[in-house]
Amino acid sequence: LFAGDVTRPERNSDHDMPVAYFTFPPLANLSMAAAGPVMPVTTGTAFTYSVSVANNGPDAATNVALSIPAQPGLRFSVVTAPAGWTCATPAPGTTGAIACTASSLAVGAVEAIVVTAIVDCGVGDGAVVTQGVSVMAGESDPEPGDNSALVSVTAANPPPA
């Protein structure tokens, strides 16, 4: 068939070594970090927290999806995402999940999404409300343990004067 044809990798000869071709699936090691307010937040007022998504490689990530589930005690206000990201959000002033997506995230890229939320007036003074966030992509992640993070906010709800 291709005996002796040096331009063909599948040539067949008594003198040719067997050749094996391997294809490995792409890997994208995503990680994330989240940071919120350090000081207590007065109930009924807005605060911001940021979520950073990084791709540590070795390949580009595709179909990147950031998930911020609804959390009792927090109401959504606004989300600011970088170019190339789209976010589905609840109406301002209501509760609900936030879902942001990007078609790709290059190796070494770090993207920040900023969320503004409001601590509900019914949250007790000194109570801590913790918001979880997570990220995933279309590729396998060799270290999935760093694909989620938590943001905590302490409520300041002093008694009426």
**Residue 24: its pLDDT value, please?**
81
Res 161: pLDDT: 67
pLDDT per residue as tens, the chain (161 positions): 555 566 666 555 556 666 677 778 889 999 999 999 999 999 999 999 999 999 999 999 999 999 999 999 999 999 999 999 999 999 999 999 999 999 999 999 999 999 999 999 999 999 999 999 999 999 999 999 999 999 999 999 988 76
pTM of the model: 0.83
**SS in 3 state form for the chain?**
CCCCCCCCCCCCCCCCCCCCCCCCCCEEEEEEEEECCCCCEECCCEEEEEEEEEEEEECCEEEEEEEECCCCCEEEEEEECCCCEEEECCCCCCCCCEEEEEEEECCCCEEEEEEEEEECCCCCCCCEEEEEEEEECCCECCCHHHCEEEEEEEEECCCCC
